[in-house]
Amino acid sequence: MSERDDIRDIHLSALIDGELGGERREELERAIERDPALAARVAEMHADKLMLHRIYDPVARRPLPREWLDLVERPQRRVPWRLAASIAAALLVVAIGTYSYLDLRPTAPVWIVDEALNARQDVTRPEQVIVAARGGGVSRYDAMLEITVGARVRVPDMGKAGYRLAAIRVFPHGGGRAAELAYRDANGHVFTLYVSRSNGTVDFVQLERRGLRVCLWRDDQVSTVMAANISTAAMQRLAILAYSGMTA
């Protein structure tokens, strides 16, 4: 077993947060100096933490919704576990201070994930297909996405992550419609966002399904299923970039 095998992300996160001291801190610092790959991992985690703070610090300063405070002020009421888990997920995403991944609930809403993957894998036929033009930015498609979904959302620019918008496909969704935004990187890898109107549920779930890493991120306005053949860490970074770009 290599020295790196004994060092996990939780240890590196504690080091970055200043929660380690004494011999353990010195031991990790020496290991990082000796291992370029480990040093790169620490730098990546630093960047992720800065991005999380930049995105969520303004949100964390907002007052909590009145409905959430009511739940706290009325302990005699029994809160359904699904609602409690959704609130916990939303609070953890907003207040996240360590590098962690949120597989928070024992069961994800599989139907909406399957709907998104059926669209991605051409099980469901689209009503409309728009091939994205190169150059000029993605904002030209914002109005179309907003009308399709029925919520105030924008087409996120994924260029910072190396992905270019390739196509937008429109699918039937309940009594309305959903839009699939398909992005490709330089190697042809596909990252999809399946965007629809939310039913009001707030949650954040990552899971593996059909050989893909899937992230479901919902707020009170929009539901987004993100899918790609990537690692959990890579999905975390893409999800943050995509969601912040959609809702900014």
Task: Give the SS3 label for residue 90.
Answer: helix
Q: What percent of the chain has pLDDT over 90?
A: 35
* Mean pLDDT calculated for residue range 65-92: 54
Using the 3D structure, point to which of 62, 82, 98 is the last residue of a domain: 98
Q: Do 89 and 132 belong together in one domain?
A: no
Element (H, E) at 196: strand 190-197
DSSP state of 61: T
Does this model's pTM top 0.85? My answer is no
Using the 3D structure, point to which of 64, 98, 132 is the last residue of a domain: 98
More confident residue, 42 or 129: 129
* Mean pLDDT calculated for residue range 130-143: 90
Q: Do 111 and 218 belong together in one domain?
A: yes
Please enumerate in sequence order all residues whose Cβ is within 8 A of that of 6, keeping only pairs 6 or more positions apart, or say none: none
Q: Do 112 and 190 belong together in one domain?
A: yes
CB atoms < 10 A from the CB of 1, how many?
5
Q: Does the pLDDT value for residue 3 go beyond 50?
A: no
Q: Do 128 and 237 belong together in one domain?
A: yes
Q: Do 89 and 137 belong together in one domain?
A: no
**Please, are residues 224 and 218 in contact by the beta-carbon 8 Å criterion?**
yes
Range of the domain at 2: 1-98
**Neighbour-count burial of 19, counting CB atoms closer than 10 A to its CB (0-12 exposed, 13-18 middle, 19+ buried):** exposed
Q: Do 29 and 78 belong together in one domain?
A: yes
* Mean pLDDT calculated for residue range 15-42: 79
Using the 3D structure, point to which of 81, 98, 115 is the last residue of a domain: 98
CATH number at residue 217: 3.30.200.100
State the pLDDT confidence band at 71, using cuts at 50, 70 and 90: low
What is the token pair recorded at 48?
Answer: 């992720």
State the pLDDT confidence band at 96, using cuts at 50, 70 and 90: very low
Give me the pLDDT at residue 59, please.
Answer: 58
Q: Do 54 and 115 belong together in one domain?
A: no
More confident residue, 204 or 137: 137
pLDDT digits (tens, 9 = 90+) for 156-197: 999 989 999 999 999 999 889 999 999 999 999 999 999 999
* HSE of 78, CA atoms in CB hemisphere, 13 A: 2
Q: Do 79 and 114 belong together in one domain?
A: no
Top mean pLDDT of 55-69, 181-195, 225-239 is at 181-195
Please enumerate in sequence order all residues whose Cβ is within 8 A of that of 86, keeping only pairs 6 or more positions apart, or say none: 201, 202, 203
Neighbour order of strands in the sheet with 190-197: 128-131, 164-173, 176-184, 190-197, 222-228, 212-218, 203-209
* Mean pLDDT calculated for residue range 85-90: 50
**Please, are residues 216 and 223 in contact by the beta-carbon 8 Å criterion?**
yes
Q: Do 2 and 125 belong together in one domain?
A: no
